[in-house]
Chains A and B, each alone.
Chain A
Amino acid sequence: IQLTQSPSFLSASVGDRVTITCRASQPISDSFAWYQQKPGKAPRLLIYGGSTLQSGVPSRFSGSGAGTEFSLTISSLQPEDFATYYCQQLHSYPLTFGGGTKVEI
Chain B
Amino acid sequence: EVQLVQSAAEVKKPGESLKISCQGFGYTFSSYWIAWVRQMPGKGLEWIGVIYPRDSDTNYSPSFQGHVTFSVDQSISTAYLQWSSLRDADTAIYYCAKAAVPGFVNRFETWGQGTLVTVSS
Contacts and interface: CB of A to CB of B under 8 A. Distances in A.
Interface of A: 31, 33, 35, 37, 42-45, 48-49, 54, 84, 86, 88, 90, 93-100
Interface in B68-121: 95, 97, 100, 105-109, 111-114
Contact of B45 (A44, A49, A86): A86
Contacts of B61: 93-94
Closest 7 CB pairs of A and B: A94-B61, A42-B111, A48-B107, A100-B44, A97-B45, A45-B109, A94-B47
Contacts of B105: 90, 95
28 contacts: A31-B106, A35-B45, A42-B95, A42-B112, A43-B45, A44-B111, A45-B100, A45-B107, A45-B108, A45-B109, A48-B106, A48-B107, A84-B44, A86-B45, A88-B47, A90-B105, A90-B107, A94-B47, A94-B49, A94-B63, A95-B47, A96-B47, A97-B37, A97-B45, A97-B47, A98-B44, A99-B44, A100-B44
Interface residues of B, number: 24
A33 B107 contact: yes
B66 interface: no
